[in-house]
Amino acid sequence: DIQMTQSPSSLSASVGDRVTITCRASQGISNYLAWYQQKSGKVPKLLIYAASTLQSGVPSRFSGSGSGTDFTLTISSLQPEDVATYYCQKYNGAPRLAFGPGTKVDIK
């Protein structure tokens, strides 16, 4: 099975900083990669699919890139409301879906 890893597992950054989270697949998954945001005690929210397509209503400071095995989620200017755990998810090869372990983002 394809394994998903994320780095870092957590990070602390200042408001306005550019933040980058990496997601890596153990085998190539083309661009079948989604990103979710989950705030503490809340339901996950879809941010990006197809590696770089922004879901409707998601602020443009969020962006995604990558293909194959290496992907990134970038927050161009971190805001207090972005404090959350971020998960990547591969969705090729159903039913072999998999989420990454998550990256917790905090404000310094």
Partner 1 sequence: EVQLVESGGGLVQPGGSLRLSCAASGFIFSSYSMNWVRQAPGKGLEWISFISNSGNDIFFADSVKGRFTISRDNARNSLYLQMNSLRDEDTAVYYCATSLQIVGIVMEYWGQGTLVTVSS
CA–CA separation, 105 vs 100, rounded Å?
Answer: 15
Q: Counting contacts by CB under 8 A, is residue 62 touching partner 1?
A: no
Q: Counting contacts by CB under 8 A, is residue 64 touching partner 1?
A: no
Span near partner 1 by CB under 8 A; candidates 10-18, 19-27, 46-54, 70-78 = 46-54
Q: How far is the CB of 46 from partner 1 (least distance, A)?
A: 6
Residues that bind partner 1 (CB under 8 A): 32, 34, 36, 38, 43-46, 49-50, 55, 87, 89, 91-92, 94-95, 97-102
